[in-house]
Amino acid sequence: MSYPSQSALPSTVSGIKRLAKSICRQDQIPHFQALDEVAQRCGYENYHHARRSLERAEAVSLFKHSHSIFLSAYWRDTSKKPVEAGRETLKIELPSPLLSFLLKHQCSSARNLEGFYIEYEDHIEMRSDADSQERARELLYRAAQSLQ
């Protein structure tokens, strides 16, 4: 079996499949065997090990390229004496920047984003105060689910 040089070995699952397919035709061996041989040449135990490892690395890479978005809501609980107030902030990770899929004028009409506005390119804030800390958290979680 003739392999490409070490620097030309595939580094993706689709690359392993492509090389295995050409070896399969050339050497008249079963496809699963060619997949294992290519994966072993690339430094993995077998094809399944290569696929799991490369998919895991790809997931980590996607997370590294995510964009942090902050959601804030102020709350004021007048049912308690003395009156309690504060701010809840939630950080979420999205695969693309906020303004690439949500325009400023769309924010208030999007599902679960009613009452929110885009404060900055990475920050959404609720316009009015929630009546309790629990309600503020609930509204933030709903907004986060809609964005995700």
Q: Residues 80-134: pLDDT tens digits?
A: 888 888 888 888 888 877 777 777 777 777 787 888 888 888 888 888 888 888 8
Residue 115: helix, strand or coil by DSSP? Answer: coil
pLDDT, residue 62, reads 55
Give pLDDT tens digits for 57-71.
776 665 566 788 888
pLDDT, residue 11, reads 79
Q: State the helix-helix crossing angle for 13-27 and 31-41, rounded to 10 degrees.
A: 120
- The pTM for the full model equals 0.54
H-type helices in 42-127, by residue range? 47-64
H/E stretch holding 90: strand 84-94
Domain spans, the chain:
8-63, 66-147
Q: What is the rounded average pLDDT of the residues 12-40?
A: 87
